[in-house]
Each structure stands twice: as C-alpha cells, then as structure tokens.
Structure 1
C-alpha cells in the first residue's frame, strides 16, 4: 500500500495552504468568487478538475514513455460545471484532449484506451458526469 500525507492549514479569509509532505511542494486555495471568496487561487473543486486533467496526461505519459513515444505538448482543458441548485457540487467535467500531430492514429487510439486506467477518473466516475473529446 502506498501512502502520501498532504497537510492542510486554514490561513484565514477562506484561504488554505496544502503541503505535499514528501516533496515540500506547497499550493494555496481560495474560495471562488461565487462562493464568498476572492477567486485568487485554485478553489478546492478546481483541484478536483486539475487532478483529473493531470492524471489523464500522466497515465498517457507513462504509456508513451514505455513505448518510446514522445507526447510533449499533449494538453487537456478541463471545463468544470457546478450545480446551480441544491447543495453545491461538481455536476460535470468536460475534457478536451489535444494530442501532438506527429502521433499515428494507432498511437492515439491506445492512449485513448489508457485514459480509462486513470485512478482519478475511476474514483470520480460514479458521482460526476465526465465527457472526453479528442483533437
């Protein structure tokens, strides 16, 4: 079992700081403007969308590295849609995935299949609608 600790601290004024203890890397969050914050940093739900986008790129990167392919420049734009009624939650995440043009159709098809192995996607798919488009 792999375990990582993220230490989170409330800094006041709806801002938090998170410490990735293995690396010492830090990030800050802020509540979004439509939820009493200033929107000056990622919101916690932005980090969920970010986790999905970066996880998709990471699992594709692992496969590409194993195959000896280069996918630098691959990109994912994640559109986060929040509910407008009831308790606030992420209603949907829409991903637009752009692949480097030098990849063959077969390479892209394999990378599309690999996306289903993304741990973040697998953890979110029962509670959040996700839509993937490729270019």
Structure 2
C-alpha cells in the first residue's frame, strides 16, 4: 500500500499525493476557504472516502446481477457537529437509474455495511443510507439482471 504524502502550501492549503504517482489532491481547511472557493476540505475527503468505498462494494453485486455500475450514482451529504467540532452525520443517497426491488436494496445495504471506511467511523458519526427513486425515463432498460 502506497503512503499518502501531505505537503503544506501555506495559508491552510496543502497537497495530498499518493506514493510515487503524479496523482494529487489540493485541500484547504474549511476555516481558510474564501467565499465561493470550491476546494476539498479534510472532512469532505472523509465523505468522499465513504462514498467511494460504498460504491466499490455495491459495484461487485451490480456487475454480478448484470447491471452497469456506471449507470448508478450516489451522493454523500456531510453534517458537522459543533462540540467538539467533528463530522456528526453522513447521509448517503443511492440514485439508481431504474427502480430496484426491495430484495436488491437489502442485499446492497448488507454489502455496504462491509465497507471498511464505514466500519472505521466512530459510533458518534451517524451514517444513513437513503434510496432515491428514479425520475422519468432514464433511457436505461430496467430489465432484471441475472443472479437474483
């Protein structure tokens, strides 16, 4: 596993790099962000880590069922708590391209419970999974995938 490197850039801004690769993310502490500035904060990265981990475990089942994971989306909304200042809640909304059956949702939720990032969050961080119903014609057929 490659190490994550953190390089300070001054004024609350820093750069994260992964191992020897050229991959990097610019991060700024929320308190240092100017109005209208759109840069990841450290707590945004926690929300992003949760979302990408949940999607990764969902993807295994979606592919097994014959669905195209790139047709699915999810969002993670972060709510901060004040005392002490920390992430209080993360609300994940899964947005499928077509209605899923209750059994499919249940299986996906069981898989998402295995996400290492979710398991690493403390008990005082509320994680809620919501399902958004698709709106209108997404242009994607809702045929059942094999294996269910």
TM-score range, shorter chain: 0.7 to 0.9
Scaled by the length of structure 2, the TM-score of the pair is 0.77
Q: Distance in 2 between matches of 1:41 and 1:22?
A: 23
Q: Distance in 2 between matches of 1:129 and 1:7?
A: 29
Is the Cα–Cα contact under 8 Å of residues 4 and 17 in structure 2 kept in the other structure? Answer: yes
Deviation of the 1:111 alpha carbon:
1.5
Is the Cα–Cα contact under 8 Å of residues 31 and 44 in structure 1 kept in the other structure? Answer: yes
Q: Which one scores higher on RCO, CA 8 angstroms, separation ≥ 6? A: 2
Deviations for 1:62-121, whole angstroms, at most 9, x for unmatched residues? Answer: 23234443222211111111113x331111111111112165543333212211111111
Is the Cα–Cα contact under 8 Å of residues 11 and 32 in structure 2 kept in the other structure? Answer: no
Match of 2:6, SS state, is strand
2:47 aligned with 1:45, yes or no?
A: no
Name stretches of at least 5 consecutive residues in structure 2 with no aligned partner: 133-148
| Greater displacement, 75-84 / 96-105 | 96-105
2:18 is matched with which residue: 17, 20, 37? 20
| Greater displacement, 55-64 / 15-24 | 15-24
Name stretches of at least 5 consecutive residues in structure 1 with no aligned partner: none
Whichever of the two has the greater Rg, that structure is: 2
Q: Distance in 2 between matches of 1:75 and 1:22?
A: 30
For the aligned residue pairs, the C-alpha RMSD in angstroms reads: 2.0
